[in-house]
């Protein structure tokens, strides 16, 4: 069943009746949503910058349909005892501000170069590549769900694991699970080169290098360079919850490594990833009169 209600700012429930181009309208609205700081379905109740012309999330009465709470159920496991990551998830990473994942009282160990770049980005919010339908990189999340494609026969069976994202963009991460090392020479990419392994069948550890420096960690524009090295530790403490503890190391912008932790919530059993093609009718792009920051580079 399609999760039409998930795009919460649908003002008129009657507009959900199928009309020509409805799919596009919903997607277009979804994209419009991304450009507004308050469209944070994955962070309901956290608020945003408070200047959303539509008001607070849920103000129009739509509201994202909250997935049932399954945190009291035990963690599902494969036959060999490895945790199963199967399911549709929302959350698991920063949207507005990666610092939200720090332990209480901690601040990001930003070097002066990082502070300066963030100040620049705060004045040039439309430079966020995410708004231009570029991949969000790691570990950034969006209000849209994701899922793992995990070999279900057991932790040592498959050489690969994939993470599928609904948006932005409607694409996938590839994680090599066959024990290979990172290549000596890396071609910088949006999602980097990821190698993964299981620790005690309970934790999926993903080590990634080879990032380009083009994506922003969050809407605030928290930066990184091509020296970025990320280690994600994914665990599933119960049926309904995924925890992602991300250690970030980048000597160009941070004085030391730091760890941020985010949780993801399991979605309803009939929910599926929708097709969401950002580059179709992206109103934030030239159609919206915004200068493309990549033009001419």
Q: Would you count residue 132 as binding another protein (CB under 8 A)? A: yes
Cα 27 to chain centroid, rounded: 17
CA distance 282 to 290: 11
Q: Which of 69, 106, 119, 275 binds another protein (CB under 8 A)?
A: 275
Examine residue 162 and tell whether it contacts another protein (CB under 8 A): yes
Q: Which residues pair with 244 in a beta bridge?
A: 234, 262
Size of the site for another protein (CB under 8 A): 47
Contact 241, 235 (CB under 8 A): no
Q: Which residue of 12, 105, 185, 295 would you call a contact of another protein, by CB under 8 A?
A: 295
How far is it, in rounded angstroms, from Cα 131 to Cα 214? Answer: 12
Q: Does residue 195 belong to the site contacting another protein (CB under 8 A)? A: no
Candidates 2, 49, 77, 124; binder of another protein (CB under 8 A) is 2
Which has the closest alpha carbon to 192: 216, 174, 166, 219? 174
The yes or no reply on residue 151 touching another protein (CB under 8 A) is yes
Q: C-beta of 151: minimal distance to another protein in Å?
A: 8
For position 175 contacting another protein by CB under 8 A, the verdict is no
* Segment 150-156 long-range contacts (CB within 8 Å, at least 24 positions apart): 150/84, 150/85, 150/86, 152/78, 152/84, 152/86, 153/78, 153/79, 154/78, 154/79, 154/80, 154/82, 155/78, 155/80, 155/82, 155/198, 155/201, 156/80
The window from 56-64, 111-119, 127-135, 244-252 that contacts another protein (CB under 8 A) reads 127-135
> With binding defined as CB under 8 A, does residue 22 bind another protein?
yes
Find the shortest distance in angstroms from Cβ 133 to another protein. Answer: 5
The neighbour count for residue 202, using CB atoms within 10 Å, is 16
Stretch that binds another protein, among 92-100, 152-160, 196-204, 240-248 (CB under 8 A): 152-160
Main-chain dihedrals φ then ψ at residue 261, nearest 5 degrees: -125, 135
- Tell me: does residue 279 bind another protein (CB under 8 A): yes
Question: Does 291 participate in binding another protein (rule CB under 8 A)?
Answer: no
Contact region with another protein (CB under 8 A), list: 35-43, 59-67, 231-239, 274-282: 274-282
Q: Interface with another protein includes 23 (CB under 8 A)?
A: yes
Cβ distance to another protein smaller for residue 61 or 296: 296
**Single residue of 36, 60, 111, 149 touching another protein by CB under 8 A:** 149
Q: Footprint of another protein on this chain (CB under 8 A)?
A: 1-2, 18, 22-23, 26, 86, 132-135, 149, 151-153, 158-160, 162, 164, 169-172, 174, 176, 189-191, 214, 272-275, 277-281, 285-287, 292, 294-297
């Amino acid at each position: 069943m399609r999760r039409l209600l998930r795009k919460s700012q649908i003002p008129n429930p009657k507009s959900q009746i199928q009309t020509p181009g409805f799919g596009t309208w919903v997607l277009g609205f979804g994209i419009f949503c991304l450009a507004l700081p308050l469209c944070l379905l994955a962070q309901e109740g956290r608020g945003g910058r408070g200047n959303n012309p539509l008001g607070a999330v849920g103000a129009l009465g739509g509201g994202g349909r909250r997935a049932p709470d399954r945190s009291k159920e035990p963690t599902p496991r494969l036959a060999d005892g490895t945790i199963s990551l199967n399911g549709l998830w929302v959350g698991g990473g920063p949207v507005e501000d990666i610092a939200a994942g720090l332990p209480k009282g901690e601040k990001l160990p930003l070097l002066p170069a990082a502070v300066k770049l963030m100040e620049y980005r705060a004045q040039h919010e439309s430079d966020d590549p995410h708004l231009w339908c570029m991949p969000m990189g790691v570990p950034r999340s969006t209000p849209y769900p994701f899922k793992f494609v995990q070999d279900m026969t057991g932790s040592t069976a498959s050489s690969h694991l994939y993470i599928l994202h609904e948006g932005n963009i409607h694409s996938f991460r590839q994680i090599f699970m066959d024990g290979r090392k990172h290549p000596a020479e890396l071609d910088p990419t949006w999602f980097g080169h990821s190698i993964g392994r299981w620790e005690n069948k309970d934790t999926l550890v993903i080590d990634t290098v080879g990032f380009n420096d083009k994506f922003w960690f969050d809407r605030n524009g928290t930066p990184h360079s091509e020296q970025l090295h990320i280690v994600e530790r994914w665990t599933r403490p119960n049926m309904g919850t995924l925890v992602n503890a991300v250690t970030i190391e980048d000597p160009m912008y941070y004085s030391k490594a730091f760890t941020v932790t985010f949780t993801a919530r399991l979605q309803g059993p009939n929910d599926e990833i929708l097709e969401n093609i950002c580059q179709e009718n992206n109103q934030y792009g030239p159609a919206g009169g915004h200068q493309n920051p990549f033009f001419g580079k």
